[in-house]
């Protein structure tokens, strides 16, 4: 117990744990289960800090734990304030106790309930508290401060009552003040927690007196008669005081009991607004829990102020003006704290915590008569820097009562008659809550699509269940839009909800006219959703007209109800309608249920696309590093292989040396004179040469074994790298999955486009969508929306015939357009097929002739004619309408498809319809490519458009009108070279043919592209050129190879398209000279590896192109293919020495004048004379002085230049 007595000095985490553990055990025995739970949670949090090796406690947490006994002492004396203090400790951020709000409320309630029912068995706990003298001192100080606060508050209320002529209330306040002063002077009767509880309830009664005096007077006398105050009043004094209290009632409050009580019924809309306010209050609560009395306090207070701004706005929008006024008052107090954070203590934090708890309590009971009284009373506490004045409290109370009375009156407000642009505005408020906006934008497309599906079910016959679904969604959208502040959606959904509610109450399906209006409204909501989430660049232009139609219907229902003339669709018509629309792309009810079930299987989170792109980039970098590691591994294996060859050579030489040494007495003498008395048969004789040779053989064998071990380790390392590569590829694939969305997500937009075009053209059509469950990258799917809408409009306007014409040709009056989505490799295939008339080639030819594209008698195939409609400003219509005739539709589609790297194909059958086929590449960060040479450049060729790789022989090539062609399997292909496409000069030797041919498809044609050579086939990571380089036609990006070099990734179909567009303007590239070819060439011949490397480094740094040979024979082979400017050679070399090499050079006419410098360790005059006789220009002895060598080289090169000029 001594440790707990000295807890004020305790700072050790272990000591706190021991003490609180004992306290928890005693609390359980005494029946204080709430206190036990609180102790156990605190103890568990402290134990976790020890296990995490972070036992150091912050100063704020130490102070809170040291104050814990005082709170327990007050708690045992029935103080509800102390119970709140204990509960607030559980929310301390440094303890990090993972409690949800419901659990916190339950523990706080248990603490309060325990002191209400537990009157005994607390002695053991009290014994664990600090010494009685110390404890009483703390409690007396605590109670004294509390009494001072109550006295200040009562004096303030007394002065206010006197000012307003409420002398009865003034006398009540003065009586209580006298009773408190008397109690303070009586040392034998100290202030108890019970008295403080009575005084805590007094502000609530006083505030209630201002609004409901008749009810509050009873509460006032109940407080005055409490034995803890000991106020002695006789019957006459009680009667007089009651009379004064009654006289002090304001005139407009004398008959409060006669006012009709407000209705307790609350509309669903109000409940939803309250739920949103509660959610926002929890956000404020979370911010309060993060408050710390340290350097971060100012930042936290600033964040709290910003959050209160949003909360005030939300409260005003929801109609809770009293709550908004209270929040403004709290904001003023927080600003006061912000001005001087040094005076912000745990008491102020507890005040804020109690305030937000009271806010949540008020919202849960806001329809009750006494709602908000405790909230107002708490704000009158003098501990606030700016306590609530009685005048302000009365004003706020009136606003709160007005809120309660108006919860049911909003629906009776007159409906607008005319729609304005402001009513459909989608402008976001300046102080929009970004988090709530993100939530709305995530849910908005789903809700609008579900609303549209429900309305379409009604169009097909439907049921009242569809009305309920649509009404529920409209209600949800209205509440969410109101909270965020998007007035356009909130307004239209408000009136739609009223219309649907009228249908639901009448238990009737809407009429045809009403359904058509609801479909227009659903389309408008989806268009608004597309605009807000960024899928459309413009807000819907007809939104105001749609809202006006909604208002007209809503006002008609308000005045006359649902008229009997608005009959539902007859069964026969309903069946025919169902037959007509059975194949549309609108999801059926079972599909919707299936989709809902799938959506409930897993949770979803919002991840910014930038973060996903960053993850993809990092996974790509990992693949690049992996490929570089594999390349290094391959090089090391090659070096080990070379080392193994050298080891074999070394071992062979060692064996030869051993054989030579084993030959008895090579010189005819033994090296050991002392042992000549023994014959070799009598004793084996070993000398130093023999021992050294044996050690050399063993060392060579050991080195070879070590080489084998290293190769085994590298093989295992290769397996690890291969596994790591597969893992990174799988990770990249998983990340790519996060970008995928189903095709069904754009079905509603396509349906809407079809309906709008049909209305404008007066035609009828259904849309059949297949492959809607295919998952596609969201960027690709968004990019094809505009081209698809153009194609749909063209299909309706140009392709489909009118109803009468279709009937005459034996087709159904309602046309059909089918959209098919499929995936082929790294491409998305989209086919739009209509059952209309197909392309009118006669009209196309006439239009092309009129525009001078072709001559009247020119022979043009249908394949060529159909490509004309993709030209700019080309149209077969003579008059333009809202949907066609301007010649920009298909050209715009073709341009967008090409800009995305895709292709467009047309397939038409006269009288049967047109099929437009789009092939769009998927965004790929990793691709399988061919590594090839184009001139002296290494390039990577993407598989886009690649149909076949083959090796053609010379007989397969021929020319037609000087144009090269390739015949393969009786099919002729035009031929071009990759070098020509890249404008790169040929780098092949004379009479060397191209080794590979690629068949590439481009614009429905296949061309043959010949290459110099194909080096390899491998997977690469494609990287773009960055922000500072624009898109380069024909290039997808670049790739970093395993050796660190960069290779461009080619888009060969686009290169073919650019080459065709250039036509005769093509110019042969100028032959490019490699920079290294301009440098003077030096041939270094030396059998010493170290000498070769040092000379190579020196000469390379001096600006020479260095070639290396290991001996004279290798040098002769090199000299057969190129002519150096100078040669440096060693004297002593195997196979052919430097003298022999020099003599050979001087006999060759082509190189007989080649300057030669000999570098050797032989310094005798005899060797020097031998070199001069062989034809060496300079003889240099090792070690070489670098400056001397370079000056001699420069001198020889200058003499050679003078001889050439001469």
Query: Mean pLDDT, the chain, as a whole number?
Result: 76
- Separation of first and last alpha carbons in the chain: 113
Q: Average of pLDDT values for 645-669? A: 67
Residues 721 and 634 in one domain: yes
pLDDT value at residue 1176: 92
Picking from 824, 1006, 1002, the residue whose alpha carbon sits closest to that of residue 898 is: 1002
The Cα 35–Cα 111 span in angstroms is 6
Which tens digit of pLDDT belongs to each residue from 176-200? 888 877 777 776 666 666 666 667 6
pLDDT value at residue 291: 76
pLDDT value at residue 637: 82
Q: Residue-wise over 884-896: b if at least 16 C-beta within 10 A, else e? A: bbebbbbbbbbeb
Q: Does any domain span residue 910? A: yes
Residues 427 and 544 in one domain: yes
Q: ∠ at Cα 955 (949, 961), nearest 5°? A: 95
CATH for 1088: 3.40.50.2300
pLDDT top residue among 149 and 371:
371
Q: Average of pLDDT values for 31-60? A: 79
Instruction: State the CB neighbour count (10 A cutoff) for residue 29.
Output: 11
* Backbone phi, psi, residue 318, to 5°: -75, -10
pLDDT value at residue 1116: 92
Least trusted range by pLDDT, from 123-137, 223-237, 482-496, 1030-1044: 123-137
Query: What is the sign of the dihedral through the CA atoms of 282, 331, 348 and 116?
Result: negative
Residues 897 and 750 in one domain: yes
CB contact set of 48 (below 8 Å; sequence gap of 6+): 96
Q: How many CA atoms lie within 13 A of 1099 on its CB side?
A: 26
pLDDT value at residue 72: 78
Least trusted range by pLDDT, from 274-283, 616-625, 832-841: 616-625
Query: What is the sign of the dihedral through the CA atoms of 801, 805, 810 and 812?
Result: positive
pLDDT value at residue 695: 72
Q: Average of pLDDT values for 13-40? A: 80
* Backbone phi, psi, residue 613, to 5°: -60, -40
- Out of 113-127, 598-612, 1125-1139, the most confident range is 1125-1139
Size (the chain), residues: 1206
What range defines the domain where residue 713 resides?
A: 610-665+686-737
From residue 449, how far is each of 423, 453, 487 by CA, in Å? 22, 6, 20
Q: Average of pLDDT values for 135-153? A: 58
pLDDT value at residue 938: 86
pLDDT value at residue 136: 45
pLDDT-based confidence at residue 1108 (cuts at 50, 70, 90): very high
DSSP reduced 3-state for 272: helix
Q: Is the pLDDT of residue 1118 over 80?
A: yes
pLDDT-based confidence at residue 721 (cuts at 50, 70, 90): confident
Instruction: State the CB neighbour count (10 A cutoff) for residue 915.
Output: 18
Q: Does any domain span residue 530? A: yes
Residues 764 and 896 in one domain: yes
CB contact set of 807 (below 8 Å; sequence gap of 6+): 813
Q: Does any domain span residue 605? A: no
pLDDT value at residue 742: 86
Q: ∠ at Cα 587 (806, 793), nearest 5°? A: 40
Largest CA distance in the chain: 152
The Cα 1006–Cα 1003 span in angstroms is 8
CATH for 498: 1.20.120.160
Torsion of CA 1195, 1199, 1205, 1206, to 10 degrees: 150
Residues 447 and 465 in one domain: yes
pLDDT-based confidence at residue 282 (cuts at 50, 70, 90): confident
Q: Where are the alpha helices (DSSP H) in 52-131?
A: 59-66, 68-76, 80-89, 101-117, 123-128
Sole residue written with tokens 């820097």: 385
Query: What is the sign of the dihedral through the CA atoms of 1010, 1014, 1018 and 1023?
Result: negative
Q: Residue-wise over 735-772: b if at least 16 C-beta within 10 A, else e? A: bbeebebbbbbbbbbbbbbbebbbeebebbbbbebebb
Picking from 435, 370, 394, the residue whose alpha carbon sits closest to that of residue 160 is: 394
Residues 393 and 510 in one domain: no
Q: At which of 209, 224, 254 does a domain end? A: 254
pLDDT value at residue 424: 87
pLDDT-based confidence at residue 1158 (cuts at 50, 70, 90): very high
DSSP E strands, 1075-1196: 1081-1085, 1105-1109, 1126-1129, 1156-1160, 1178-1181
Which tens digit of pLDDT belongs to each residue from 452-479? 888 888 888 888 888 888 888 888 888 7
Least trusted range by pLDDT, from 260-269, 553-562, 813-822, 823-832: 260-269
For residues 1047 and 1038, is the Cβ–Cβ distance under 8 A? yes
Picking from 264, 282, 365, 271, the residue whose alpha carbon sits closest to that of residue 318 is: 271
Picking from 315, 431, 297, 314, the residue whose alpha carbon sits closest to that of residue 375 is: 315
Q: Residue-wise over 1114-1123: b if at least 16 C-beta within 10 A, else e? A: bbbeebeeee
Q: What residues are paired with 1085 via a beta bridge?
A: 1109, 1129
DSSP reduced 3-state for 950: strand
Query: What is the sign of the dihedral through the CA atoms of 246, 249, 255 and 260?
Result: negative
Which tens digit of pLDDT belongs to each residue from 507-546? 888 888 888 888 889 888 988 888 888 877 788 888 888 8
* Backbone phi, psi, residue 267, to 5°: -75, 155
User: 3-state SS of 851-873?
Assistant: CCCCCCCCCCCHHHHHHHCCCCC
pLDDT top residue among 227 and 1000:
1000
pLDDT value at residue 563: 66
pLDDT-based confidence at residue 674 (cuts at 50, 70, 90): very low
Q: Does any domain span residue 587? A: no
Residues 401 and 284 in one domain: yes
pLDDT-based confidence at residue 255 (cuts at 50, 70, 90): very low
Which tens digit of pLDDT belongs to each residue from 88-118? 788 777 777 877 666 777 777 778 777 765 5
Which tens digit of pLDDT belongs to each residue from 571-615? 333 333 333 333 333 333 333 333 333 333 344 556 666 777 777
pLDDT value at residue 819: 92
The DSSP string of 327-380 is HHHHHHHHHHHHH-GGG--HHHHHHHHHHHHHHHHHHHTTTSTTTTHHHHHHHT
Q: Does any domain span residue 756? A: yes
Q: Does any domain span residue 819? A: yes
Residues 558 and 634 in one domain: no
The Cα 684–Cα 33 span in angstroms is 98
Q: Is the pLDDT of residue 906 over 80?
A: yes
Residues 852 and 864 in one domain: yes
Which tens digit of pLDDT belongs to each residue from 730-764? 787 777 777 788 888 888 778 878 887 888 888 88
pLDDT value at residue 604: 53
pLDDT top residue among 1206 and 1039:
1039
Residues 928 and 888 in one domain: no
CATH for 1057: 2.40.50.180
pLDDT-based confidence at residue 125 (cuts at 50, 70, 90): low
pLDDT value at residue 240: 79
For residues 1080 and 1126, is the Cβ–Cβ distance under 8 A? yes
Eight-state DSSP code of residue 439: H
Q: Average of pLDDT values for 1145-1160? A: 90
Q: Average of pLDDT values for 1103-1107? A: 91
Eight-state DSSP code of residue 798: I
CB contact set of 6 (below 8 Å; sequence gap of 6+): none
pLDDT value at residue 1179: 92
Q: At which of 204, 229, 254 does a domain end? A: 254
pLDDT value at residue 1107: 92
For residues 344 and 293, is the Cβ–Cβ distance under 8 A? yes
Instruction: State the CB neighbour count (10 A cutoff) for residue 1204.
Output: 8
Query: Could you tell me what percent of the chain has a pLDDT over 90?
Result: 5
The Cα 140–Cα 1116 span in angstroms is 110
The Cα 75–Cα 763 span in angstroms is 80
Q: Does any domain span residue 166? A: yes
Q: How many CA atoms lie within 13 A of 840 on its CB side?
A: 15
The structural domain count of the chain equals: 8
The Cα 944–Cα 939 span in angstroms is 15
Instruction: State the CB neighbour count (10 A cutoff) for residue 642.
Output: 10
pLDDT value at residue 754: 86
pLDDT top residue among 120 and 16:
16
User: 3-state SS of 466-530?
Assistant: HHHHHHHHHHHHHHHHHHHCCHHHHHHHHHHHHHHHHHHHHCCCCCHHHHHHHHHHHHHHHHHHH
Kindly calculate the radius of gyration of the chain based on its CA atoms and give it in whole angstroms. Answer: 47
Q: Is the pLDDT of residue 1137 over 50?
A: yes
* Backbone phi, psi, residue 121, to 5°: 65, 20
Beta strand pairing call for 1005-1011 and 996-1002: antiparallel
Q: Does any domain span residue 595? A: no
Q: At which of 696, 721, 737 does a domain end? A: 737
Residues 457 and 514 in one domain: yes
Q: What residues are paired with 937 via a beta bridge?
A: 934
The Cα 499–Cα 518 span in angstroms is 10
Q: Is the pLDDT of residue 1111 over 80?
A: yes
Residues 298 and 396 in one domain: yes
Q: Residue-wise over 565-583: b if at least 16 C-beta within 10 A, else e? A: ebebbeeeeeeeeeeebee
Instruction: State the CB neighbour count (10 A cutoff) for residue 1066.
Output: 11
pLDDT value at residue 781: 83
DSSP reduced 3-state for 959: strand
pLDDT-based confidence at residue 885 (cuts at 50, 70, 90): very low
Beta strand pairing call for 903-909 and 815-824: unpaired
Angle 321-339/346-364 helices, nearest 10 degrees? Answer: 170
pLDDT top residue among 1178 and 882:
1178
Q: What residues are paired with 769 via a beta bridge?
A: 819
């Amino acid at each position: 117990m001594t440790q707990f007595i000295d807890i004020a000095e305790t700072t050790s985490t272990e000591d706190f744990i021991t003490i609180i553990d004992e306290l928890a055990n005693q609390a359980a025995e005494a029946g204080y289960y709430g206190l036990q739970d609180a102790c156990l949670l605190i103890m568990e949090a402290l134990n976790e800090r020890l296990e995490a090796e972070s036992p150091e406690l912050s100063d704020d947490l130490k102070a809170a734990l040291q104050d814990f006994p005082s709170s327990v002492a007050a708690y045992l004396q029935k103080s509800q304030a102390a119970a709140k203090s204990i509960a607030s400790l559980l929310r301390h951020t440094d303890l990090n106790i993972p409690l949800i709000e419901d659990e916190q409320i339950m523990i706080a309630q248990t603490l309060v309930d325990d002191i209400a029912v537990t009157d005994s068995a607390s002695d053991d706990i009290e014994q664990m508290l600090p010494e009685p003298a110390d404890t009483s001192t703390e409690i007396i100080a605590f109670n004294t401060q509390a009494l001072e606060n109550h006295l200040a508050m009562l004096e303030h209320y007394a002065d206010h009552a006197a000012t307003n002529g409420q002398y009865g209330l003034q006398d009540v306040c003065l009586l209580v003040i006298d009773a408190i002063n008397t109690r303070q002077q009586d040392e034998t009767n100290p202030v108890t927690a019970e008295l403080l509880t009575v005084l805590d309830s007094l502000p609530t009664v006083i505030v209630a007196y201002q609004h409901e005096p008749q009810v509050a007077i009873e509460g006032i006398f109940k407080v005055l008669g409490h034995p803890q105050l000991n106020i002695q009043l006789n019957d006459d004094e009680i009667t007089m005081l009651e009379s004064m209290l009654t006289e002090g009632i304001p005139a407009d409050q004398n008959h409060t009991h006669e006012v009709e009580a407000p209705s307790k019924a609350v509309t669903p809309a109000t409940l939803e607004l309250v739920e949103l306010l509660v959610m926002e209050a929890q956000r404020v609560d979370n911010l309060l829990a993060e408050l710390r009395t340290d350097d971060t306090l100012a930042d936290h207070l600033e964040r709290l102020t910003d959050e209160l701004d949003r909360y005030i706005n939300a409260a005003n929008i929801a109609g809770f003006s009293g709550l908004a006024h209270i929040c403004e008052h709290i904001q003023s107090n927080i600003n006061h704290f912000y001005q001087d954070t040094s005076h912000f203590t745990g008491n102020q934090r507890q005040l804020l915590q109690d305030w937000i708890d009271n806010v949540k309590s008020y919202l849960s009971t806001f329809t009750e008569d006494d709602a908000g009284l405790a909230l107002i009373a708490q704000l009158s506490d003098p501990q606030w820097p700016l306590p609530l004045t009685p005048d302000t409290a009365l004003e706020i109370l009136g606003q709160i009562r007005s809120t309660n009375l108006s919860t049911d009156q909003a629906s009776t407000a007159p409906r607008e008659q005319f729609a304005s642009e402001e009513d459909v505005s989608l402008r976001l408020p300046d102080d929009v809550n970004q988090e709530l906006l993100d939530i709305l934008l995530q849910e908005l497309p789903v809700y609008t699509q579900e609303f549209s599906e429900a309305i379409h079910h009604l169009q097909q016959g439907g049921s009242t269940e569809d009305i309920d679904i649509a009404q529920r969604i409209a209600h949800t959208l209205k509440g969410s839009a109101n909270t965020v502040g998007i007035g356009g959606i909130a307004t239209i959904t408000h009136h739609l909800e009223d219309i649907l509610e009228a249908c639901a109450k009448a238990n009737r399906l809407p009429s045809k006219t009403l359904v058509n209006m609801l479909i227009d409204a659903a389309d408008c909501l989806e268009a608004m959703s597309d605009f807000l989430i960024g899928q459309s660049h413009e807000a819907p232009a007809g939104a105001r007209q749609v809202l006006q139609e909604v208002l007209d219907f809503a006002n008609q229902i308000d005045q006359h109800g649902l008229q009997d003339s608005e009959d539902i669709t007859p069964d026969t018509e309903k069946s025919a309608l169902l037959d007509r629309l059975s194949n549309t792309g609108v999801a059926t009810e079972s599909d919707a249920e299936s989709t809902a079930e799938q959506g409930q299987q897993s949770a979803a989170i919002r991840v910014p696309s930038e973060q996903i792109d960053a993850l993809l980039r990092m996974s790509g970098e990992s693949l690049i590093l992996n490929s570089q590691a594999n390349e290094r591994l391959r090089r090391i294996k090659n070096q080990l292989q070379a080392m193994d060859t050298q080891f074999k050579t070394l071992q062979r030489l060692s064996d030869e040396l051993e054989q030579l040494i084993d030959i008895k007495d090579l010189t005819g003498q033994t090296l050991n004179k002392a042992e000549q008395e023994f014959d070799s048969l009598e004793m084996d004789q070993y000398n130093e040469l023999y021992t050294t040779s044996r050690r050399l053989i063993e060392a060579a064998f050991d080195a070879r074994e070590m080489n084998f071990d290293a190769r085994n380790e590298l093989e295992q390392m290769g397996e690890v790298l291969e596994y790591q590569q597969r893992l990174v590829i799988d990770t990249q694939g998983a990340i790519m999955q996060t970008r995928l969305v189903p095709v069904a997500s754009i079905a509603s937009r396509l349906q809407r486009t079809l309906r709008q075009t049909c209305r404008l053209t007066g035609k009828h059509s259904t849309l059949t969508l297949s492959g809607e469950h295919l998952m596609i990258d969201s960027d690709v799917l968004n990019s094809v929306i505009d081209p698809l809408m153009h194609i749909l409009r063209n299909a309706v306007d140009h392709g489909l015939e009118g109803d009468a014409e279709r009937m005459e040709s034996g087709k159904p009056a309602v046309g059909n357009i089918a959209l098919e989505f499929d995936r082929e490799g790294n491409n998305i295939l989209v086919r739009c097929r209509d059952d209309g008339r197909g392309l009118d080639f006669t009209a196309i030819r006439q239009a092309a002739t009129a525009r001078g594209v072709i001559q009247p008698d020119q022979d043009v195939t249908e394949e060529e004619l159909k490509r004309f409609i993709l030209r700019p400003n080309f149209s077969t219509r003579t008059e333009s309408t809202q949907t066609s005739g301007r010649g920009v539709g298909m050209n715009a589609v073709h341009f967008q498809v090409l800009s995305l790297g895709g292709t467009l194909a047309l397939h038409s059958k006269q009288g049967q319809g047109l099929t437009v086929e789009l092939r769009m590449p998927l965004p790929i960060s990793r691709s399988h490519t061919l590594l090839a040479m184009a001139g002296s450049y290494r390039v990577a060729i993407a598989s886009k458009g690649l149909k076949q790789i083959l090796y053609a022989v010379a007989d397969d090539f021929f020319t037609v009108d000087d144009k090269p062609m390739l015949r393969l399997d009786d099919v002729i292909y035009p031929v071009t070279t990759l070098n020509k496409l890249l404008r790169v000069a040929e780098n092949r030797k004379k009479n060397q043919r191209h080794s590979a041919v690629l068949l590439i498809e481009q614009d429905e044609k296949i061309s043959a592209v010949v290459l110099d050579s194909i080096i390899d086939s491998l997977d690469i990571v494609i990287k773009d050129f960055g922000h500072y380089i624009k898109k380069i036609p024909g290039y997808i990006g670049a790739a970093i190879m395993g050796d660190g070099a960069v290779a461009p990734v080619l888009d060969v179909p686009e290169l073919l398209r650019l080459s065709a567009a250039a036509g005769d303007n093509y110019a042969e590239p100028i032959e490019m000279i490699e920079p290294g070819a301009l440098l003077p060439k030096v041939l270094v011949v030396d059998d010493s590896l170290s000498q070769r490397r040092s000379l190579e480094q020196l000469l390379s740094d001096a600006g020479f192109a260095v070639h290396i040979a290991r001996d004279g024979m290798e040098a002769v082979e090199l000299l057969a293919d190129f002519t150096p400017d100078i040669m440096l050679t060693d004297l002593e070399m195997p196979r052919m020495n430097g003298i022999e090499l020099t003599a050979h050079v001087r006999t060759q006419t082509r190189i007989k004048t080649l300057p030669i410098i000999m570098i050797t360790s032989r310094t005798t005059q005899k060797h020097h004379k031998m070199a001069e006789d062989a034809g060496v220009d300079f003889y240099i002895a090792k070690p070489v002085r670098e400056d001397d060598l370079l000056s001699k080289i420069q001198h020889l090169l200058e003499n050679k230049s003078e001889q050439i000029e001469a």
